[in-house]
Amino acid sequence: MVKIAVPTSIQGRPQEYEEAHVHNVYDRIADHFSSTRYKPWPIVAQFLSDIPTGWIGLDSGTGNGKYLPIPTERPGSIFTIGLDRSHNLLELAKCAGGSPTRDVLRGDVLGDYWRLGAFDYALSIATVHHLASPKRRKQAIERLIQSVSSTHGRILIYVWATKQDELSRTSFPKKACWSNEDETRISPAGQDVFVPWVTQTSTDGSVTVEPETSKSMYMVLNRYYHMFSEGELSRMAEEAAKELDLKIGSPDEFSERGVKGLHISEEGWERSNYYLLLTRWEK
């Protein structure tokens, strides 16, 4: 199975672009998408395993809710609420991990539905890269920061990277190649792409997806992604922190009482994705 990314550029208003090329696509491919997305990313599983018992968290852009039951070795020790725009994915997320059911809400990752700082942790996995403008991606990060406790909130953000794993299933057309050897061609602002999902509607009305076929009987659904360049995500998190009047750095670097800040505790790359671990603090 080869995933293909085709460079694209945003036309029209980002909200409508996302509606057409993200939300509608996920609603249509929910079942098949879900069957291909059951393995947790190791970094995400580790993040959740490290969360202390009794903490409450938000999975913003939960998709099929595969992170909601984690950590499975400590069932019921933490409580993660799933938020997504796709109704069909939420129906799956509700049942993630079997019974009892998970708490999920339909909403936008840019929406504000919570008491300020209501959560102890928030995760945004493979979600921010679906927002179709830099401003909206930054706002999504601001929302995550605002949703967690100002004294100890932890945030994990995970987005698709221009730097692709050699073993990854993603291939790029020659014309717009930005392989590892060719990093000089990567714009510091990342790259907007379409990842086509080829679907076939069977007689019972359900949609199946056959990514490698290109026969005319199949319909192509183009999913929009913004591929992040190296450092782009952390720069954006710093801008988001500034918007919220938070100092950037570790709490040890500041002594003034009452100061609030955001610490980038970890920044990394895992299997074609960049991730960022953020911690809020207050003196």
Closest CB 146 distance from other proteins, rounded Å: 10
CA dihedral sign of residues 130, 134, 135, 141: positive
If the CB atoms of residues 35 and 214 are measured against other proteins, the closer one turns out to be 35
If the CB atoms of residues 72 and 180 are measured against other proteins, the closer one turns out to be 72
Q: Do the bridges between strand 79-84 and strand 56-60 make them parallel or antiparallel, or are there none, so unpaired?
A: parallel
Residues engaged in binding other proteins (CB under 8 A): 15, 34, 38, 52-56, 69, 72, 75-79, 81, 83, 85, 87, 90-92, 94-108, 111-115, 118-120
If the CB atoms of residues 11 and 72 are measured against other proteins, the closer one turns out to be 72
Instruction: Give the SS3 label for residue 4.
Output: strand
Q: What is the CA radius of gyration of the chain?
A: 19
Distances (CA, A) of 230 to 8, 117, 129, 267: 20, 29, 14, 10
How many whole angstroms from its chain centre is CA 251? 27
Closest CB 188 distance from other proteins, rounded Å: 31
Closest to 268 measured CA to CA, from 231, 237, 225, 239: 231
If the CB atoms of residues 97 and 251 are measured against other proteins, the closer one turns out to be 97
Closest CB 96 distance from other proteins, rounded Å: 7
If the CB atoms of residues 108 and 232 are measured against other proteins, the closer one turns out to be 108
Closest CB 38 distance from other proteins, rounded Å: 8
Closest CB 29 distance from other proteins, rounded Å: 16
Closest CB 199 distance from other proteins, rounded Å: 20
Closest CB 161 distance from other proteins, rounded Å: 28
Distances (CA, A) of 248 to 120, 239, 257, 259: 19, 10, 15, 11
If the CB atoms of residues 117 and 134 are measured against other proteins, the closer one turns out to be 117
Closest to 188 measured CA to CA, from 140, 242, 233, 142: 233
The label of the residue with tokens 């207050």 reads 282
d(CA 39, CA 99): 19
The label of the residue with tokens 């997320």 reads 93
Closest to 141 measured CA to CA, from 224, 282, 264, 13: 264
If the CB atoms of residues 45 and 105 are measured against other proteins, the closer one turns out to be 105
